[in-house]
Amino acid sequence: MELVHPAPARTVAGDDLLDLYPWPDQGRWVRAMMVTALDGAAAGRDGLSGSISSSADREVFDAVRRLADAVLVGAGTLRAEEYGPMRASDEHTERRTAAGQAPAPRLAVVSGSLDLPWELPVWADSTLTPLVLTGPEAADDALATAREHAEVVALPDLEPATLLSALTDRGLRRIVCEGGPSLLEKVVAADLLDEADITLSPVFAGTATTPRTDGPDEVARLDLVHLLTAEGFVMARYTRPGSR
């Protein structure tokens, strides 16, 4: 065991953050992003992650999303967080275009029932039409409604490998998985998570609004790459062992 004292501080922002959260040049890379309180809460009393977040946490969140191809999210999280349109600034669009990417990340929503909040502007106002990944149980009328708002991808099942393959088949290899907890747990259990970007919030929020999961059969261990601190928050980057 080692006691590590803080090194001399340096300011990190903008492109520095992009350098600290790089994407590999080739192959699929799946990142998870989440914020957690000191007591393990994933949200505040309002049920939203933003209430235990901070401006520094959001800077990292934006940097990780900035050059992503897809943002993968479960229906419950989309509904609870009321996702806004997926867009990129002119500057970031130019950078993405120069790298051969689409002008903005594409939202990919996982839903077996297709009971989704179609009134949200994320469907009509995103730069790219969102994807909805659904399974064989979706009803015909629900499919018809979904196709009015999104590109529907009907899959034989909603297992993590099937979901991720559906994205990479469409050239979406840089994937940010934003949860919820059940979706993230399945990705981890399938050994398909390459990176976890976890923010520790300096608050106790209680876990009344934090969804419970069954837990994976085996503990999955990642390697710590770096820690950033600001405003009492700790932003940690972890990657799959041996991937650095």
CATH number at residue 72: 3.40.430.10
Whether 186 maps to a domain, the answer reads yes
- Distance, CA of 229 to CA of 95 (rounded, Å): 27
- The pLDDT assigned to 214 comes to 77
Whether 56 maps to a domain, the answer reads yes
Whether 198 maps to a domain, the answer reads yes
- The pLDDT tens digits of the residues spanning 147-165 come to 999 999 999 999 999 999 9
Whether 221 maps to a domain, the answer reads yes
Domain tally for the chain?
1
Residue 3 scores a pLDDT above 60: no
Whether 233 maps to a domain, the answer reads yes
> Mean pLDDT over residues 128-145, rounded?
96
- The pLDDT assigned to 9 comes to 66
| 24 token code pair | 């590999």
Structural domain boundaries enclosing 125:
26-239
- The pLDDT assigned to 104 comes to 96
- The pLDDT assigned to 218 comes to 77
Whether 145 maps to a domain, the answer reads yes
Whether 63 maps to a domain, the answer reads yes
Ramachandran angles phi, psi of 146, nearest 5°: -60, -40
Whether 11 maps to a domain, the answer reads no
- The pLDDT tens digits of the residues spanning 84-114 come to 999 999 999 999 999 899 999 999 999 999 9
